[in-house]
Every structure is written in structure tokens, then in C-alpha cells.
A and B are shown apart, each in its own frame.
Chain A
Amino acid sequence: MQAASRAMYDPDCAVPGLTMDDHRTLLARVASRQDREAFKCLFQHFGPRVKSVMVKAGAQPDLAEDLVQDVMMTVWRKASLYAPDRGAVSTWVFTIARNARIDRLRRASSQPYRDLEGLELASEEPDGEDEAFASQRAERVAEALDELPDEQRRIIEYAFIHDMAQSEIAAKLDLPLGTVKSRMRLAYMKLKGKLEVLK
């Protein structure tokens, strides 16, 4: 929160170490009053990260730059669809970047994902999770990822950041497809195991 207010006064937004809560505060300002200064901070934080993801997924620099514009424009337009109790802002930005990747790099359709966006907000069933839980969850996932054996973490990174199909990962690492799948499952089980204790 403090870093967020500091960031508001810094024209370059060069405040290191914006926290997860800062991201939420900034995004809430974009959603509630189209706050451009808050948006600039988010742009400067996430823009270079999204660009890196796009380059690693195989986009040429110009296209990566265009995709950053698309992704961050979606952040601006859809800020009010972000639900804090569902997860970190970085997770939400990742899903927007993923959708852009599906549409523009894979030339497939992210429509099925977008059809679900409203559902979470429209759902009136309380699911017992709140913002604090979502923050804790994101922290635990981060911890668990850092503890993964290299062979599992690498596969996860290839899939989520380099946008490689499981068959491509198998070919690259010279592993049977079944091994890639089972390592993915193992990694996921560990993440989930870390979260069980939160409940």
C-alpha cells in the first residue's frame, strides 16, 4: 500500500519491489476511476515481463511489442472483471497474456476462456475463499515452485512461459511423452499438497 502510494508520485514508477497488495490497489484504482497514473505503474511493471514471455514463446520483437500493447489494453478495459479473491494480479495478467498467445501466436481461439470470465463474478455461491486466502495461496505456490526439483520446474517453465506443447517438451528433453506428463502431474501434486494445509 505504501509502495503503491509512493509509486503514484514517482513519474517513472521506478519503485522497486511493488508487492502483491500494491498491484491490487493500483488495479482497483484503474477499475474504479480509470486512474491513468495507477495504470502507468502497472504498465511499467508488467509490460517488460509480458514482453519477455512473448519473446520466449517465439514472437519477434515487433510482434512481442504489439502483444504487450494488446495485453495491457485488455488490463485497462477489463480491470473491473478482476476479482481479488481469485488470485494475484500477476496471475490475472498471465491469463490475459496466455489468451493473447493462443489467439495471435498459436492462431487458435481463446474464446472458451473468455466465456468463463463473467461466470466467476456472476456466481453467487460463496466458495469459502477470500482475498487473504488468495494471497496466501499465491505465496505457497511460489514457495512450492522454488522447491521443485529442476527436472520438474524446467518442464513447467517450458509449458507456461515458453508456450511449448507437451510433445515439443518431450522432443526437446529427449523424454517419452508419458514422462513429461507424469512430471507435470507430480509438480502439480506438490503445489496442491502445499495448499491443503491452508484449509
Chain B
Amino acid sequence: MTILHHLDQNTLLRHASGDLDEAFSAIVSAHLAMCEACRRDLRIAEDVGGHLLEDGDTVPLADDALARIMRCIDEREGAGEPIRAAQAPRAETQDVPAPLQRYIGSSLADVPWKTVAPGVRRHKIALTTPTRSAFYMLKIEPGKAVPEHGHGGAEITLILSGAYRDELGRFGPGDVADLDEHVEHQPKVDPGEPCICIVATEAPTRFKGLFSRLLQPLVGI
């Protein structure tokens, strides 16, 4: 998998500082799972937090803070609870990256699609925490074009299979389209196979043109 389109630096910084909601951080984490280059870039951003923590102010702890945590450690061990973290799962070989599996399962074949327009299927994804973002998957048939649209807010799209092209280039598996509200684009799916992607949008997508606006409740959210 050759990844050509990466996370925006501002997105990396927001992810590192904890400023993204669950929908955005799930997609960012999924891209990170596939992209060594962005993982390296994220480490730089997280080093910023580490340095500011190390070099920053201190606030004295309560007098019993140390005793409290040591007691807690003793109790857990006494109760025979496993203190050690379970060994983390291995890097996945499935078509769904680990951070998305809790949301959409481990296979793209099992997604309960709903047709929302000719050639366009969508699956809305439930989140565990409240957010203002919409979180959904799209499966768009080969050769199909999505109406040109801008975004009311930030939008991030991760390609899971297939590919599309727009003004910014070709987007294939692992690529991320990390767009702010100023970008307008008109994606067209490559011939051959459908394009499956997962999308988080901060605010309703605005479509241009009357026909497209009629499509909006179907394609966007």
C-alpha cells in the first residue's frame, strides 16, 4: 500500500493535544495504523506535550497521594487482579484497521449498507460519546461522481478500498483526504471497483446547485 495523501499538520497537532472528537480521532488513528510517516510526525507533536509537561509547573499533591496509590497497587495485587496490561493485539491483517473495528467490525463485507441514491450506499456509525460530527461510511459504485461540494466545517475521509479522483489527485486505500471548510471538490470513483470510505464531518456538507442540494440529505448528513 503506497500512501500518497497524509494528515494535515494541524490535524496531527489537534490529535496530539486531544482536541479532536471521537469520530475524527477514530479516523486519524486508523490512518496512523496504516501510515508510518504520519506516526513519526505524530511523535514530534507528542514530544511537544512531553516537553511542556516535563518543563512545566508543578502543583503539590495531597499528603496521602503516594500512600493512596501504593495501597491501591497492593490491593489489586492482593486481589489477584492482573496488574500488567494484557499484551496488545498484533497488527491486523484484515481490511479494517484496528481503531475502526469496534465501530464497523473486522470485515468490509459485513457492513449493513443502505442505498441512499443510485450507486451510493451509506452506513451511519454510532459513537459512544456525544459529538457534533457525523460519522459514516460510503460505498460508491465505479465511475460514479459525487456532486461538487464544499464543507461547512472540517471533513476527513479515509479510503478503505477502491479509489477516487478529484482536484487534489487520486485517493486509494490508506489515503486520507483531510479537508478544511474552504476546500470544494468533486470526487469521481475510478472504474473497476466500488470505493469504500469512512468519513467524519464536523457540520453539514453544503452541496452546490438545486439537484445536488436535493441529494444532500442522502449523501451527506
Contacts and interface: CB of A to CB of B under 8 A. Distances in A.
A162 B24 CA distance: 21
A115 B29 contact: yes
B91 A119 contact: yes
B36 interface: yes
B73 interface: yes
A24 interface: no
Interface of A: 34, 36, 39-40, 43-44, 46-53, 55-56, 64-65, 68-69, 72-73, 76-78, 80-81, 86-88, 90-95, 97-99, 101-102, 106-113, 115-125, 127, 129, 134, 137-138, 141-142, 145, 156-157, 159-161, 163, 165-166, 181, 184-185, 188-189, 191-192, 195
**Chain B interface size, under 10 / 10 to 19 / 20 to 34 / 35 or more:** 35 or more
Given A43-B66, A189-B9, A120 B47 contact: no
Contacts, number: 217
A53 B18 CA distance: 13
A157 B52 contact: yes
Contacts of A49: 53-54, 56-58
B49 interface: yes
A112 B44 contact: no
B32 interface: yes
A112 B43 contact: no
A166 B89 CA distance: 34
B192 interface: no
Contact of B29 (A108, A116, A138, A163): A116
B53 A93 contact: yes
Interface stretch (B107-115, B125-133, B156-164): B125-133
What is the interface of chain B mostly: helix, strand, loop, or mixed?
helix
Given A108-B131, A145-B51, 15 more contacts: A40-B66, A40-B70, A48-B61, A76-B69, A91-B47, A109-B129, A115-B102, A116-B33, A122-B91, A141-B47, A142-B51, A145-B48, A159-B17, A188-B13, A192-B44
B201 to A, nearest CB: 17
12 contacts: A68-B65, A90-B51, A98-B18, A99-B18, A108-B21, A109-B129, A111-B99, A112-B29, A138-B51, A157-B52, A159-B14, A195-B44
A39 B12 CA distance: 31
Interface of B: 9-10, 12-14, 16-19, 21-22, 25-26, 28-30, 32-33, 36, 39-41, 43-62, 65-66, 68-70, 72-73, 83-85, 87-91, 98-99, 101-102, 127-131, 180
A118 B90 contact: yes
B85 A77 contact: yes
A87 B10 contact: no
A108 B17 CA distance: 13
Contacts of A124: 91
